[in-house]
Amino acid sequence: MANDPNRAGPQQRMHWESIVVIAVIGTLGCLLPGLATCSEPVASGEAPVATPPGITLQALGEGQSSAMAFALTEVPRTQIAFADARGMTLYTYDRDSPGKSRCAAACTQVWSPVSAPRSARSVGDWTVFKRGDGTQQWQYRGKPVYTFVRDTDVGSVFGVSPNRPVAARSRGLVRQPRFPGWHSALLFPLSGIPMPAGVAIREVGDANGLAFVDRDGMTIYAFEGRGAAKAVIRLADQTQWKPLLAPALAHQVGEWSILTRSDGIRQWAFRGRPLFTFAGDVTSGDANGVGLSNDWDAALAVSFYMPAQVRLEQTLGRGKVLATREGLTLYRRDGIAIDYGGGQSARHGVPIQPGVGRRIGVSLKGCEGACLKAWHAFVAPANAQPDGFWDIAIRPDGVPQWVYQGYALYTFSGDRKPGDMNGNDIFNAVLSDNPHQLNDVGTPMTGTANLYWTIAYPSSN
């Protein structure tokens, strides 16, 4: 059984008093420890997917880390934009309306409509409409989307590339052009979702989406109670699931409602599902409660696409990692200048730098002979499309390879079972007596440059 407490780890094991199964007849009451029956039906817990096939997600500006000479312990990632399959930022126009584009003729020479294939279907907030010339175009939340002719690099905004030197941008030498009425189409920060005070939305890679978090930044979970019958669980006082409390004067906000428990506690619910935090989460960004049971999941505003060949694997000491469908750890090749540190000893290692990953690409520079036998490209299906944070690179031999947030993914021949991470932190160093010498290890770096293998984590930091 997925909810058998004897199969959980020692810190995750719950103490169960009893489980009562109640058949669902018509409207289902929200019965949980101490909860009185609520009259509203339980809505589906599925969060909308952020992107349809062919639409990707890209951090803007410095979040791409294209021009960094060494890895930082933290990379700014304040905006995540929608982009086309090439990674070019998408834009919306104020004068457009649902199903109607006001950008035609000469306008389309500068702002190119993002075409949708004939087979395209609505996904989440994405729909398709037919333009005046008969072609199909994507629209997000009723706004047609376009690319900009002056954008040439991934992460560019209104023609300004993230590859411009950071120092020049900080001194104001690179000015942000203004195009009245045009805006970057952003996924994050996410707007238009009413929330109670003390609740926010942040990117939580371990939950594979934009999750609701409490005032301390801790992931919020929903009791799912999936299936045709619902388990009403009475937990002992030691339970690690703590209700998300609603203040005495709080009231319903959008899809957020309040459940009054039989013990007098007022608890928040989202789409009718009672909300909790998990004591097993140690820091902001953790989602260790995901996967413990089918009855619990992170409360997501938006979920990210993940290929059917990939799953999140829980590991000891490293949290969740990207793994193959069989559970084998996935790795990326990265660059780091040891002279400056870099953070590879942190829980999720060196922060993801998509620009660096793209520079390294799918070549195996610095890895020859036996190394080629140790590392195997994570091959994508022939019909795979870029989607969300996932892209496809074509290797020199013509084989398609999965790419995650700019980094080509590999498996390691030394891993034998799920949870093995024997390929982590394997280095190839390029030494130099001159700290100012530029060493190219797939991406140019000063100092003692290293090309190394690291676990592929489902997170930006």
pLDDT value, residue 25:
25
Whether the ω angle into residue 180 lies within 30 degrees of 0, i.e. cis, is no
> What is d(CA 334, CA 268) in angstroms, rounded to the nearest whole number?
42
Cβ atoms of residues 269 and 244 within 8 Å: no
**pLDDT, position 85:** 97
Query: In the prediction, which pLDDT does 23 show?
Result: 26
Element (H, E) at 110: helix 107-110
Q: Concatenate the DSSP letters of all residues of 307-343 into one string.
A: -TTEEEEEETTTEEEEEETT-PBPEEEEEEEGGG---
Domain residue spans in the chain? 5-47+213-296, 56-188, 310-455
pLDDT at residue 340, as a whole number? 55
Q: How far apart are CA 357 and CA 341, in angstroms?
A: 18
* pLDDT given for residue 444 in this prediction: 65
Exposure of 36 in the CB half-sphere (CA atoms within 13 A): 10
Cα maximum dimension of the chain:
75
Digits of tens for pLDDT over the chain (461 positions)?
333 333 333 333 322 222 222 222 222 333 343 433 332 333 345 799 999 999 999 998 777 765 444 444 455 578 999 999 999 999 999 999 999 999 999 999 999 999 999 999 999 999 999 999 999 999 999 999 999 999 999 999 999 888 765 544 444 444 566 799 999 999 999 988 999 999 999 999 999 999 999 999 999 999 886 532 233 334 433 478 899 999 999 999 999 999 988 778 899 999 999 999 999 998 888 999 998 888 889 999 999 999 999 999 988 878 899 999 999 999 998 877 665 555 556 667 677 888 888 888 887 655 656 777 899 999 999 999 999 999 999 988 899 999 999 999 999 999 999 999 999 988 776 666 666 666 666 666 666 667 788 999 997 55
- Quick check: 150 and 157 in contact, CB under 8 A? no
**pLDDT at 430 (0 to 100):** 67
From the list 184, 158, 192, the residue with the least C-alpha distance to 82 is 184
* C-alpha torsion sign, points 282, 286, 288, 290: positive
- State the pLDDT at residue 258: 95
426-430 and 407-412 beta bridge pairing: unpaired
Q: Exposed, middle or buried by CB within 10 Å (0-12, 13-18, 19+), for 307?
A: middle
* Residue listed under structure tokens 């942040």: 202
Closest CA to 267 of 32, 16, 40, 24: 32
Q: How confident is the model at residue 130, as a pLDDT? A: 96
Considering only CA atoms, give the Rg of the chain. Answer: 24
